[in-house]
Amino acid sequence: MILAIETSCDDTCAAVVEPDGRRALSNVVHTQTEHARYGGVVPEVASRAHLERMDGVIAKALADAGIGLDSVTGVAVTVRPGLIGALLVGVSAAKGLAYARRLPLIPVDHLEGHVAAAYLAEPDLVPPFVALIASGGHTALYSVDADGMRLLGETLDDAAGEALDKGARMLGLGFPGGPEISKAAEHGDPTRHEFPVGLKNRDTLDFSFSGLKTSLLYKLKALDERQAREELPHLAAAYERAVVEALSRKLLRAAESREARTVVVAGGVAANGLLRRTLKVECVRRGLRLVVPPPELCTDNAAMIGAAAPLSDAVPFPGYLSLNARSV
């Protein structure tokens, strides 16, 4: 069994995954609540909270899977990209466990982890496919084949999740912004306000979300307090729709240009209901297979890191003691 650890941002995660990376026996996520009052993740606070929770989260992952450490044959851990202090807590824990048991350590790239969540969702999935990763820190399109992932396009400014988080903050909603905007948008009319969709008609697979954010700022400036309250559901609905349109448009364009038959969507924003519904309709129309992991595998978790482990190079005992984490 693979014991997987993920601490790249504000979730302290551990999971037990079968060696082929296609089935999780447990998946424990402790989402840090310390950041809510700041409206965003505070790196130093995240590192310290990981340190406090790490041992308990690992113990729970083993207990939930019904195994002991003696059944673990390798320790997988996110080594990049992410908050450096946060990553180091997970990497140190993984090194300690692996070294004590003379096990190999498997360094995993967080973004490859997000894509690998699709293998847990649909174990028969095999490359090639086109993948969209949309999270709080990243928004990128990849062409995935047997040799690995190749970048096709990425955001030139904010990530999609970041745009939702910042938009939510401007609208006076909570953090994380994605689910909050969806909730506020429930009874809103998405056609009442118009927001720009960045790089919409340009012949590029890159994204841009900064214009959207600025547009919301100016719209809010033009409204008094009462109007802003009344318009909240409509603004949220239109804002959410603009983000979803940008993501689905570029993903479908990438699938077309790569002549892909399968598309995968991953990362925290893939938990978004409107994005899931929109892509479902569009993919049926185009005869594409759509793989979107369930929401709990889309947001940060360690099962996806275990799922990526068979695709990453294991470092044998004890060569990994000098291994470092990287923020990018």
Using CB positions, name the residue nearest to Zn ion. 135
For residue 278, state whether it binds ligand KG4 (rule: CB under 6 A): no
Choose the stretch contacting Zn ion; rule: CB under 5 A; options: 34-42, 83-91, 97-105, 129-137: 129-137
For residue 109, state whether it binds Zn ion (rule: CB under 5 A): no
Nearest CA to 149 out of 127, 165, 167 is that of: 127
Binding residue (CB under 6 A) for ligand KG4 from 21, 107, 127, 176: 176
Binding residue (CB under 5 A) for Zn ion from 135, 262, 301, 312: 135
The first and second tokens of residue 54, run together, are 């790490």
For residue 136, state whether it binds ligand KG4 (rule: CB under 6 A): yes
The first and second tokens of residue 281, run together, are 């309709």
Tokens 């979300």 identify what position? 209
Least distance (Å) between residue 11 CB and Zn ion: 8
Least distance (Å) between residue 161 CB and ligand KG4: 2
- Identify the H or E element spanning 16: strand 11-17
DSSP string covering 105-116, please? EEEEEHHHHHHH
Of the two residues 9 and 205, which places its CB atom closer to ligand KG4 in the complex? 9
Least distance (Å) between residue 316 CB and Zn ion: 28
Contact indicator for 177, 40 with CB cutoff of 8 Å:
no
Say how many C-beta atoms besides its own lie within 10 A of residue 202's C-beta.
9
Least distance (Å) between residue 79 CB and Zn ion: 14
In whole angstroms, give the CA distance from residue 28 to residue 36: 20
- Identify the H or E element spanning 149: strand 148-154
Least distance (Å) between residue 19 CB and Zn ion: 24
Contact indicator for 253, 285 with CB cutoff of 8 Å:
no
Question: Which backbone phi and psi does 284 adopt, to 5 degrees?
Answer: -60, -45
Binding residue (CB under 5 A) for Zn ion from 105, 112, 300, 301: 300
For residue 299, state whether it binds ligand KG4 (rule: CB under 6 A): yes
Of the two residues 98 and 184, which places its CB atom closer to ligand KG4 in the complex? 184
- Identify the H or E element spanning 44: helix 43-65
For residue 271, state whether it binds ligand KG4 (rule: CB under 6 A): yes
Contact indicator for 149, 24 with CB cutoff of 8 Å:
no
Least distance (Å) between residue 146 CB and ligand KG4: 25
Q: Which residues bind ligand KG4 (CB under 6 A)?
A: 9, 135-137, 161, 164-165, 176-179, 182, 267-269, 271-272, 299-300
Q: Which residues bind Zn ion (CB under 5 A)?
A: 135, 300
